[in-house]
Structure 1
């Protein structure tokens, strides 16, 4: 009898769990899947990237959690591949490895003053308000506490999320599962002005209409757009024509550009054709120097030489994520991805036997959560097609890898441990009159998981 195909998935976010779902659903090949994650809790960006006030998007966790209930799928969280176990060692226990660990670091602006006190990345801010165990809490909290005016650089959905969270009132955030200390700090925030900067025009902005419209629905914030930014050049007209999302975005922005001044305590300003060229300050941020830009006939961007300075004591850069290399795995430094052909990892022109990739670390940080399902399924299709030729693991017994981890003193979190974390978060939330409160401290997460081991 042919033994089950043993597959390790590195990353328990949407891509990893969609890959596990596709593998567990095979009819012609029996597959046993272990899903690794370096954090104690699964779900990746579905837990630590989707804004806490977007409850409908975060509900995808219910679908992902069902994958962990499959009898042929096992969770091994709190295990960092490359530190607790190497890729070379994984090949001893698995016939194939699928890398789905995403793109967790951020791009920089590469302008003077970027490292001044009061500048943070959207990655840091999102990690903090989502309760990521590795969040730079003190750094982010100090920046927000000292701020009355913020500049957010970027016009994607993450930039809109950050702007919305910074501009909401305490009652608008109480229904979320934010850690309590995050909720308390935001409730006492003194920020009254948020300016969002886009280097190009509104026709080129990456945000979706649903996320954009939410800025105009906040309880105590007014949105302003300069009508001058909405005058369309030929390039922008061509970009918008037939593109429903861009057409809808323009209608929303035009409505805001003619709206009378409201009485909100906070003001949100969307500025397009505005390129930050310097962050100003003697030690901490006091402003951002911005150059007016224009689109040339070929669609390239040029500076006009017209400069203004926007007062700000908090700057959040939100100009994209990038992937990082993993020891022992080929990596395309220029693109920030693992090179592949139809999901098969490549080292130069050669296929790396038994190695596959899916998600952002495969294609770059593009698409929505649902995009990852199609992407992961395509990679699994390649893996299954290769099944008969895969190099078989020397130690395929499922207990072999867990014994190896235990011998190294690695406390892995299985699905029962995750259930215990889940129950602890619900109980903590109920004690505060909320549906759930996220545990952000790694030791608190592990302590909750250990409770399951003691039963």
Structure 2
């Protein structure tokens, strides 16, 4: 029997559990440990609330979680409730599937002013993550600046621009819906260092911006390359750029403008005790493909700046860490004997949800190749004894199902659920 502990219950964690089941059949026991009482990681608190079809992948993870040889061990914090060293003593394999929940810093003067928010915090706020439920973003003033050229930046801009009615069917939490409805932001500016051909925005997400009730996306035609240059792009990128070209041709006026500002980078954030403006420098693309400043600057009035420039995996005591890449130091997922990393904790924040599935199978293959079939380690029995001795209040998957039932019962009309945003309320709802 192989005993496997997976730290993190997001897509990478559940795909790895599924892969271990397929690789080892009944001869494996998998414990998925999470510090929150609720599973699914970024599926629950990272995927946009108006993208319910993407969130539906959790049903696949549920099938894995309800099988006999996989269990969810929620409300357990690695580091305080149990250490990595202890887990390595208890389990044949310990797999770090912690994702990359920390924002990369902007690293410019003024990025510590009130009103500068990382995308992990802002997305967590409107998705009901307990760590960020108390955030009070300044949803007022003439503008908001979103820094980044990927889908997270699009999610943030879209959420800021939608009407309350457009959130019907979503699971945006009530405090965010109430705050966003009457906000007075007039312009959402998306800053991108490079040009339209360098965006990491997918066609579906870009296309959604063109159908908002009270917002118009705009692109300066001068920022677009010659149409014939699009032929060199892959099909998906061509579709994305086609949306940008359509935005450039659209002159409809609505209450909110979502302005794409290409060849632009923030160099300074200014304000008297809070964000009031972003100083932006024009860029040009060097021969090596890097963007560098031209010296030409201008100011964008803003009450809020949301940074969407990538994420980092937080370090864990006793685990080798690559500070430059912001992930655990590993060789193809191997960190040390019996210790592995998967998903963003292995690769860094790249790829889609589905990218984590082959990642999970890679790690299962490594476990099969590296470890004996029966080491005699105690696995979950040892963990249960340790956590019980420490008085840790463990949440099971059955507990989670009760929490979910309570969230569904509390849903407003047209919404799939109303998430609990406090851990104490989650724990109270599990019985």
1:232-280, CA deviations, whole angstroms, 9 ceiling, x for partnerless residues? 59xx94x961422221122111111111233x21111001001111111
Tell me, yes or no, if the aligned pair for 1:199 and 1:273 is still in contact at 8 Å: yes
SS in 1 for 2:394: coil
SS in 2 for 1:270: strand
**1:211 pairs with 2:208:** no
Which one of the candidate residues 218, 222, 238 is aligned to 2:216? 222
Distance 1:408 1:28, change over 3 A: closer
Q: 1:374 is matched with which residue?
A: 358
**1:411 pairs with 2:393:** yes
Post-superposition shift, 1:65? Answer: 1.3
Post-superposition shift, 1:25? Answer: 2.1
Which one of the candidate residues 240, 250, 271 is aligned to 1:249? 240
Tell me, yes or no, if the aligned pair for 2:106 and 2:307 is still in contact at 8 Å: yes
**1:51 pairs with 2:48:** yes
Q: 1:117 is matched with which residue?
A: 114
Post-superposition shift, 1:33? Answer: 0.6
SS in 2 for 1:32: strand
Q: 2:163 is matched with which residue?
A: 169
Q: 2:80 is matched with which residue?
A: 83
1:110-150, CA deviations, whole angstroms, 9 ceiling, x for partnerless residues? 11111112111111100001110111x44x32422x44410
Aligned residues: 431
Question: Where in structure 1 are there 5+ consecutive unaligned residues?
Answer: 346-351
Tell me, yes or no, if the aligned pair for 1:14 and 1:43 is still in contact at 8 Å: yes
Post-superposition shift, 1:83? Answer: 1.2
What aligned pairs does 1:339-418 form with structure 2 within 5 A after superposition? 339-345=329-335, 352-388=336-372, 392-393=376-377, 395-396=378-379, 398-418=380-400
Q: Distance in 2 between matches of 1:188 and 1:324?
A: 36
Post-superposition shift, 1:86? Answer: 0.5
SS in 2 for 1:370: helix
Give RMSD over aligned pairs. 1.8
Tell me, yes or no, if the aligned pair for 1:203 and 1:250 is still in contact at 8 Å: yes
SS in 2 for 1:308: strand
Q: Distance in 2 between matches of 1:147 and 1:62?
A: 41
Q: Distance in 2 between matches of 1:107 and 1:390?
A: 41
Tell me, yes or no, if the aligned pair for 2:268 and 2:279 is still in contact at 8 Å: yes
Post-superposition shift, 1:206? Answer: 0.9
1:94-121, CA deviations, whole angstroms, 9 ceiling, x for partnerless residues? 1111111110100111111111121111
Which one of the candidate residues 9, 23, 48 is aligned to 1:12? 9
Q: Distance in 2 between matches of 1:169 and 1:52?
A: 14
Q: Comparing 433-442 with 318-327, which one deviates more in the overlay? A: 433-442
Post-superposition shift, 1:230? Answer: 0.6
Tell me, yes or no, if the aligned pair for 1:8 and 1:98 is still in contact at 8 Å: yes
Tell me, yes or no, if the aligned pair for 1:203 and 1:240 is still in contact at 8 Å: no
Tell me, yes or no, if the aligned pair for 1:5 and 1:29 is still in contact at 8 Å: no
Post-superposition shift, 1:92? Answer: 2.7
Q: Distance in 2 between matches of 1:418 and 1:29?
A: 24
SS in 2 for 1:388: coil
Which one of the candidate residues 428, 434, 452 is aligned to 2:415? 434
Superposition TM-score, scaled by structure 2 size: 0.96
Distance 1:240 1:275, change over 3 A: farther
Tell me, yes or no, if the aligned pair for 1:353 and 1:390 is still in contact at 8 Å: no
What aligned pairs does 1:53-202 form with structure 2 within 5 A after superposition? 53-135=50-132, 137-138=133-134, 140-144=135-139, 146-202=140-196
Tell me, yes or no, if the aligned pair for 2:2 and 2:375 is still in contact at 8 Å: no
Superposition TM-score, scaled by structure 1 size: 0.91
Q: Distance in 1 between matches of 2:24 and 2:169?
A: 42
Q: 2:256 is matched with which residue?
A: 266
Which one of the candidate residues 319, 323, 340 is aligned to 1:329? 319
Distance 1:232 1:308, change over 3 A: farther
Post-superposition shift, 1:27? Answer: 4.8
Q: Distance in 1 between matches of 2:98 and 2:214?
A: 38
Tell me, yes or no, if the aligned pair for 2:169 and 2:414 is still in contact at 8 Å: no
Tell me, yes or no, if the aligned pair for 1:197 and 1:270 is still in contact at 8 Å: yes
Q: Distance in 1 between matches of 2:370 and 2:41?
A: 28
Post-superposition shift, 1:28? Answer: 6.3
Q: Comparing 155-164 with 297-306, which one deviates more in the overlay? A: 297-306
Q: Distance in 2 between matches of 1:28 and 1:66?
A: 15
SS in 2 for 1:26: helix
